[in-house]
Structure 1
Amino acid sequence: MLQLVEDDPWLQPYEANLQTRLDYFLQRTAEIDKNYGSIQNYALRHKELGFNYDKKLKGWHYREWAPAAKSLSLIGDFNKWDASKHPLSNVGNGIWELFISEKDGLKHLSQVKVKVESDHGFADKIPAYTKYAVQNPETHDFTACLWHPAEEFQWTDQKFNLKKIGAPLIYECHTGMAQEKEGVGTYAEFEKEVLPRVKALGYNCIQLMAVAEHPYYGSFGYHVSNFFAPSSRFGTPDELKSLINTAHNMGIAVIMDIVHSHAVKNEAEGLNNFDGSGHQYFHEGGKGYHEGWDSKLFDYGKEEVERFLLSNVRYWLEEFHFDGFRFDGVTSILYHHHGNGVGFDHYDKYFKDGVDWDSVRYLQLASTVAKSVKPDCILIAEDMSGMPGMCQPIEAGGLGFDYRLGMGIPDSWIKLLKHKADEDWKMDEIWNVLSNRRYKEKTIAYAESHDQAMVGDKTIAFWLMDKEMYWHMSKDDDNLVIDRGIAMHKMIRLVTASAGGEGYLNFFGNEFGHPEWLDFPREGNDWSYKYARRQWSLVDNKKLKYIYLNDFDKAMIKLLDKKIVLAAPAAQLINMDETNQVLIFERANLIFIFNFSPSNSIPDYKFWVPKKGKYKYVLNSDDKKFGGHGRVDEKVVHESFEENGENYLAIYAVNRAAFVLER
């Protein structure tokens, strides 16, 4: 019996499906081992296709997969864009190749394209494996740019040890909007100005969005065109390497938001219709198009597509020293219906209704490649379906990821904030959302990510305080709306981080209650960058209340890290009091106490504790330094007392406050 079924008896009727899933993967890996020697070799297609420099011959081998093409020619500034000068030869299996010497003028930063002839005529394309693409500032067209600097980037991160990271405390970031200026930030600016903030806050990991090149900035990086090219709008590949190198030397891991769920439909910049067939990298017809995303869908059953994507996984880990991935759109990958309008309310939905088994196998192969290249890498799945085994070993019947995103948690907070008055919040609803996760499958908890901060929604801070934030965030300005907002903001983040999973994620700036929303420059806002940035000056201004939230977040992250809270077993419920809206649980030998009531402060609030002894305060959200009211004396040590053979504590449980006690 598979371990996954042993762990979850409800899966017994589906054991044959799980075994078939595993066998399908094992059959593929056996074929790969037979034909290529290992899966690592299989994931080296970027060393065979695209531009690869030959030191002996002093030139480049350029190869392209284009099975339906009639001819290919390399064009660029080096040959004055003349297609007759450098035609490629068809060497079989859909592969075209050309060797081009340095003497022909091809060099570092040469701009190139490949002219593809198909049954539909000629089209100029960006090579599929290009490692750098640049945009013409006037025409906005993208062109491949040969990346071959005279000196390789010198890494100095050899002492960085990913094992020492422990439970990931993730600071989700977007390079372009990381600056306060109304414009696009760079890798160099991020390295200089944002990494020190991450270090000071105590986060041990950053998650970089929008890394791979994308033609439309407003896509947030999710409509990728060039999968092997870091976006040039933020700087050069070496500048991205420098950012990662510096992060590692600060003890900070860097994971990439990788998009293998779909690709931009643009034909000029991307893979779409590369060889003229209409279905080279993607499924044919409607199956290859995602209506909700207006993008193309990969055919994971094709070997060259599989190799392209698996090589992409290996490339980012090895070439840029990324420490893992947050796989975007996993639900869309897993199912033919992409999760659209489907309620995953029965196990049939995971095994019998619309599952794409080629896609499941691809994710298993991707996790295998990643772990073979960097065994300690962090793999996170953005899956809202709850596919069983997502974060279990493949041999146990799983897909081999480390964590799944707790996507239901931020949704639940937004629903509460939108639809229920504070006095109607139910502790069992909060607890059930935070504690509901699959056995042995780790979760990254988050109160809000970039999704909740986009135009059309609001950040938690804005749901709580809205327009009052514009006028009443000065420390000497008393305001009931702001007072409530700051108190609830701290509680929501602490209860989420401490009870919601085995890792924690924060979208940068939200830790200090960044006001307003995210909105990229677009036609609808006159191409404005006003909301595509982070206003660091707000938290740097010691006269404003943003610093309260920032300092609380710093103290919270420090506590989670120092006390190894997220690596401890799941939180254990101690007390749920709906009358007073008090929630108490234990984790990592700490007692977490939350009083969500808008009005009930309870002297001598009594509750059971698992161990007798003396308990001290290690975190208090009501501390004045965190914008609280200082109603609790943190110097007080609470000693347990016995009643009917059980141990109890009694504390002053003030309203809208959270406390953490340590024995």
Structure 2
Amino acid sequence: MTARPPSHRKSEPEPTTLPVPPPAPAERRKSPGRERPGTSAVAPRPREDPGGRDVRAARPLDGGDRERLLAGSHHEPHALLGAHPVRDGVAFRTLRPYARAVTVLADGVRAELHDDGDGLFSGVLPLREVPAYTLLVRYGDASAESGASAAEADELEAGDPYRFLPALGDLDLHLIGEGRHEELWKALGARPMTHQGVTGTRFTVWAPNARGVRIAGDFNYWDGTSLPMRSLGSTGVWELFVPGIGEGALYKFDITRPDGSHTLRADPMARRTEVPPATASIVTESHHVWRDEEWLAHRADRPVHEAPFSVYEVHLASWRPGLTYRQLASQLPAYVRDLGFTHVELMPVAEHPFGGSWGYQVTGFYAPTSRMGTPDDFRYLVDALHRAGIGVLVDWVPAHFPKDEWALARFDGRPLYEHADPQRAEHPDWGTLEFDYGRTEVRNFLVANAVYWCEEFHIDGLRVDAVASMLYLDYSREEGQWSPNERGGRENLDAVAFLQEMNATVYRRCPGVVTVAEESTAWNGVTRATHVVGPDGFGGLGFGLKWNMGWMHDSLDYVAKEPVHRKYHHGEMTFSMVYAYSENYVLPISHDEVVHGKRALVSKMPGDWWQQRANDRAYLGFMWAHPGKQLLFMGQEFAQGAEWSEGHGPDWWLLDPSYAAAADHQGVRDLVRDLNAVYGRTPALWERDTAPEGFSWVDGGAAEDNVFAFLRFDAAGAPLLAVSHFSPVVRHDYRLGVPEEFSAWTEVLNTDAARYGGGDVLNPEPVKPESVGAHGRPASLQLTLPPLATIWLRPV
């Protein structure tokens, strides 16, 4: 993955280019014929409201308070702004840059405030208590001296954000401080709500190093001066309820750094974003009505490692380029269901600015990418997949984040989400930053994010990217570029604790969900329970499954060899069984194996086009029979010869009947469909994937013949015989030992069948065992082994 350079385009205009902001959607324009007050110059005499009460001048702000308020560095603007009881009435003060006049409107009260300069307006009304009120703000000039008509004046009525109590409770703040808020997205970010009887949006953000935080958006012309937020004690959380703001509003946080400079940042908790390269956050709510109750009710019926689990990996943006989430929902579920995959795995869908990162450099961890629609549109796609009987996994990327100046990097002016130690913060491979897993709030941000995808989007599993880079302090670092942990080792103890907490929390809250680790080392206990301590002194990481990167590398290296050389590499295909039960494995042929010069799966195979396809089919048959679940990346199901490109996706034209070689590609796709079909109805291939009793070699040493033969068993002991033959010759009367208690075996799959594009060398009739001992068994079969093919047989 490559780092994305900072964005060159901003969603928001410069606030100083025009003197008068446009009408705000949060405010209601008054009709031209309504009575208007006079000019807003500072008055030497008291103003009067229609009830005859004086509007006295308010006590001037302390110079320091005024300076901090205008500079955006005041921690408690509510103490200065809004309405407050004073000795002789109620004092009102508001900060409205560019305004010509501000009038307080309440039941029976209409009083124009004094202009204190710099956008500040204030006054004291002779009231006994603070009323419910709004503000009438005039930006244009309808005075007699100006010659402007009332219609030309820009007069807006708005609620006052500074008359409200905090809209975030003490329990939320306590949990945030402890790093234990498992529903963090409900406490931080932008949430439309009704507060104190008024509708609006509560904005909250964690920025403990900030001197001040303001809200800038399309509702205040991207000038945050009028909306400073208050700091909620020592939590580092800033809050403001803004009446009248609702769904669809664009916003960012204007943060005053410790040095007094300002930075405009997207909301780390934004649940919707603009379409990249625009970067603003969007206020949103979900209105999707889920219809996947039946799926969720039975999702946890069987543990994943004891269930059929066949995964189709998809890059949504390029599966069929140009489709929206809802358009994908009309095509993807039917396609995946037809091929028989039990699950799809979606490459990262969280918002990312650079499409060329494939989603692995995330800036919006709580927002599905807006490239294909809204968050509810994504929910619609997940719902459609569930109703088609297909589980949904998403790639989740808690290992790092990019350095874009509007996102997480040095969010409030100092390292916050990243580690304070530059050696720990910089990711040496990708030009990105690593999270500080030892900081409770950062760990909470990520743990809650994992829960968020599972609960808010009904996701069935998280495939966690780049786990190895998280686990080791010396990952891709030379001597002198890292420091040992307190035990003197190279393990990142903070990352270990984070992964354990994440897994434990997800499994506790979301029954039936599985977490899958992409972990490329021999770390002990990746799929061991977190409370079980291993010989290394660490508890298990708690994942449900782990990608078997060793099997993938070894097996692909073997099949890439010419058949005549394969006997010298025979052990590369059998070595996986030495450690097959050390973890709960997935066998992945993922996007990473068909890009960047690695060639597509079929193109890795030696020989001419016929041999390449035959090798491909034999390899898929071997993969589906091997212990472990399986994953196949899109395009490989029909033997696409070109590498994948996120720009145009799979070469669907290869399946067009008008294409001369379409049958070759259709044959491989038909094989994948049949592999999944036979796999799904054969418990021997999945029920005991993680139990040694579910596997037995028949002949794992036939290097000269390039043959691998083994038995798989279900929980009741019923077997399936799998034989893979990686030589381009037919072997007749090939003897293999089998259990003696069965009277005949029948071929249930043969990758050399003509309908798959093979030579149709089959074992068409049931094969009866002979009382001839072979491979340590009292009975044996004599089979015909097709060239470059895998066959499956089971007793009848």
TM-score (norm 2): 0.70
Contact 2:340–2:676 at 8 Å: present in 1 too?
yes
Question: How far apart, CA to CA, are the structure 1 residues paired with 2:779 and 2:377?
Answer: 57
* Aligned: 1:288 with 2:413: no
Separation of aligned partners in 2, 1:334 and 1:556: 36
SS at match of 1:148: coil
**CA shift at 1:280, angstroms?**
4.2
- Cα displacement (A) at 1:340: 5.8
Is the 8 Å Cα contact of residues 68 and 275 (structure 1) preserved in structure 2?
A: yes
Query: Which of 335, 352, 374 pairs up with 1:197?
Result: 335
Distance in 1 (CA, whole Å) between partners of 2:176 and 2:532 is 24
Provide the rounded CA distance (Å) in 1 between the counterparts of 2:639 and 2:505: 38
Bigger shift: 357-366 or 330-339? 330-339
1:561 is matched with 680
Q: Contact 1:283–1:297 at 8 Å: present in 2 too? A: no
Residue in 2 aligned with 1:121? 261
Residue 435 of structure 1 contacts residue 499 of structure 1 at CA under 8 Å; is this kept in 2? no
Query: Residue 335 of structure 1: CA displacement?
Result: 1.1
Aligned residues of 1:390 and 1:441 also touching (Cα < 8 A): yes
1:40 touches 1:369 (CA, 8 Å); kept in 2? no
1:660 to 1:255, Cα distance in 2 relative to 1, 3 A: same
Task: Name the CA shift for 1:340/1:602 in 2 (closer, same or farther; >3 Å).
Answer: farther
1:145 deviates by: 1.1
Cα distance in 1, alignment partners of residues 472 and 251 from structure 2: 37
The match for 2:590 is 449
Corresponding position: 1:585 with 2:710: yes
> Partners in 1 of 2:292 and 2:498 — Cα distance?
31
User: In the alignment, what sits opposite 1:130?
Assistant: 270
CA contact (8 A) 2:558 2:572 kept: no
Deviation of 1:422 (Å)? 1.6
Alignment counterpart, residue 383 of structure 1, candidates 514, 519, 523: 519
Q: 1:509 aligns with which of 635, 638, 643?
A: 635
Paired residues for 1:329-368 under 5 Å: 329-338=466-475, 353-368=489-504
For 1:259, the equivalent position in structure 2 comes to 397
Aligned to 1:110: 249
Show CA shifts across 1:232-259 (max 9, x none).
0121111110110011111111011000
| 5+ residue gaps, structure 2 | 1-170, 534-539, 714-718
SS of residue in 2 equivalent to 1:534: coil
Distance apart, 1:54 and its partner CA: 2.7
Shift, 1:52, TM fit: 2.3
Please report how far the alpha carbon of residue 457 of structure 1 lies from its aligned counterpart in structure 2 after TM superposition: 1.6
Instruction: Please name the residue that 1:545 is paired with.
Output: 664
Decide whether the 8 Å contact of 2:190 with 2:201 is kept in 1: yes
**CA distance, structure 1, for counterparts of residue 621 and residue 324 of structure 2:** 32
Q: In 1, distance between residues paired with 2:513 and 2:179?
A: 15
Counterpart contact for 1:360–1:399, Cα < 8 Å: yes
Alpha carbons of structure 1 residues 129 and 445: separation in structure 2 relative to 1, 3 Å? same
Match of 2:143 in 1: none
Residue 695 of structure 2 corresponds to which residue in structure 1? 571
Secondary structure, counterpart of 2:274 in structure 1: strand
Contact 2:516–2:547 under 8 Å retained in 1:
yes
In the alignment, which residue of structure 2 is the partner of 1:274?
411
SS of structure 1 residue aligned to 2:444? helix
Shift of 1:512: 1.0
* 1:167 aligned residue: 308
**Letter of the 2:619 counterpart:** I
The equivalent of 2:644 in structure 1 is 518
**Equivalents in 2 of 1:215, 1:37: separation in Å?**
28
- State which of 534, 538, 544 in structure 2 corresponds to 1:402: 544
Helix, strand or coil at the partner of 1:172: strand
| Greater share of helix | 1
C-alpha separation in 1, matches of 2:773 and 2:618: 30
Is the Cα contact below 8 Å between 1:617 and 1:660 reproduced in 2? yes
Question: Which one of the candidate residues 307, 312, 318 is aligned to 1:177?
Answer: 318
Instruction: Tell me, in whole angstroms, the C-alpha distance in 2 between the residues paired with 1:48 and 1:276.
Output: 23
Contact 2:272 2:284 in 1 (8 A): yes
Q: 1:582 to 1:226 in 2, by over 3 A?
A: same
User: In structure 2, what is the equivalent of residue 23 of structure 1?
Assistant: none
Determine the structure 1 residue equivalent to 2:788.
656
User: C-alpha displacement at 1:431, in angstroms?
Assistant: 3.4
Name the amino acid aligned to 2:530: I
Q: How far has the Cα of 1:633 moved from its partner? A: 4.0
- Residue of 601, 605, 610 corresponding to 1:483: 610
Aligned partner letter, 2:340 = G
Cα distance, 1:557 vs structure 2? 1.2
Contact 1:632 1:652 in 2 (8 A): yes
**Matched residues in 2 for 1:643 and 1:68: separation?**
76
SS of structure 2 residue aligned to 1:326: strand
Give the Cα separation in 2 of the matches to 1:646 and 1:514: 44
Offset from partner CA, 1:284-309 (integer Å, 9 cap, x none)? 32320102011110001101101101
Provide the secondary structure at the position in 2 that maps to 1:639: coil
Quote how far apart the aligned CAs of 1:552 are: 0.7
What is the identity, as a one-letter code, of the residue corresponding to 2:728?
Answer: P
Contact 1:39/1:369 (8 A) holds in 2 = no
CA distance 1:636–1:439, shift in 2 (3 Å) = closer
**Structure 1 residues 341, 641: CA separation in 2 closer, same or farther (over 3 Å shift)?**
farther
Match of residue 472 from structure 1: none
Q: Measure the CA separation in 2 of the matches of 1:389 and 1:282.
A: 26
1:373 aligns with 2:499: no
Residue 497 of structure 1 and its aligned partner are, at CA, apart by: 2.3
Q: Give the superposition deviation at 1:518.
A: 2.3
1:463 aligned to 2:604? yes
* Partner in structure 2 of residue 496 of structure 1: 623
Fraction of identical pairs, as percent: 25
Larger Rg: 2
Q: Distance in 1 between matches of 2:211 and 2:260?
A: 10
**Residues 1:81 and 2:229 are matched in the alignment:** no
**What is the CA–CA distance in structure 2 between the aligned matches of 1:360 and 1:462, rounded to whole Å?**
39
User: Residue 452 and residue 293 in structure 1: after superposition, are their counterparts in 2 closer, same or farther (change >3 A)?
Assistant: same
TM-score under structure 1 length normalisation: 0.84
Paired with 2:555 and 2:476, the residues of 1 have a C-alpha distance of 22
* 1-structure distance, mates of 2:274, 2:778: 69
Relative to 1, partners in 2 of residues 1:591 and 1:509: Cα closer, same or farther, differing over 3 Å?
same
Question: In structure 2, what is the Cα distance between the partners aligned to 1:628 and 1:352?
Answer: 57
CA 1:506–1:549 in 2, change beyond 3 Å: closer, same or farther?
same
State how far apart, in whole Å, the 2-side matches of 1:381 and 1:38 are: 29
Question: Of 411, 415, 419, which residue of structure 1 is paired with 2:553?
Answer: 411
Determine the structure 1 residue equivalent to 2:131.
Answer: none
1:493 is displaced (CA, Å) by 1.4
In structure 1, which of residues 416, 425, 432 is the aligned counterpart of residue 574 of structure 2? 432
SS at match of 1:113: strand
Please give the secondary structure, in 2, of the residue aligned with 1:423.
helix
SS of aligned partner of 2:294? coil
Measure how far apart 1:143 and its partner are: 1.0
Displacement after TM superposition at 1:59 (Å) = 2.1
1:127–1:402 distance in 2 versus 1, CA, 3 Å: same
The structural deviation recorded for 1:414 is 3.7
Question: Within 2, Cα distance between the matches of 1:628 and 1:83?
Answer: 68
Which of 746, 753, 764 is 1:623 aligned to? 753
Q: Which moved more, 1:429-438 or 1:259-268?
A: 429-438
Residue matched to 1:62: 203
Against the structure 1 CA distance between its residues 519 and 508, is the aligned structure 2 distance closer, same or farther, given a 3 Å change threshold? closer
Q: Indicate the residue corresponding to 1:634 in structure 2.
A: 764
CA-CA distance at 1:637 after TM superposition: 3.1
1:608 to 733, 737, 744: 737
In structure 2, distance between residues paired with 1:39 and 1:544: 60
Match in the other structure for 1:474:
none
Name which of 324, 329, 348 aligns with 1:210.
348
CA contact (8 A) 1:540 1:547 kept: no
Are the structure 2 counterparts of residues 220 and 436 from structure 1 closer, same or farther at C-alpha, using a change threshold of 3 Å? Answer: farther
CA distance in 1 between partners of 2:342 and 2:656 (Å): 21
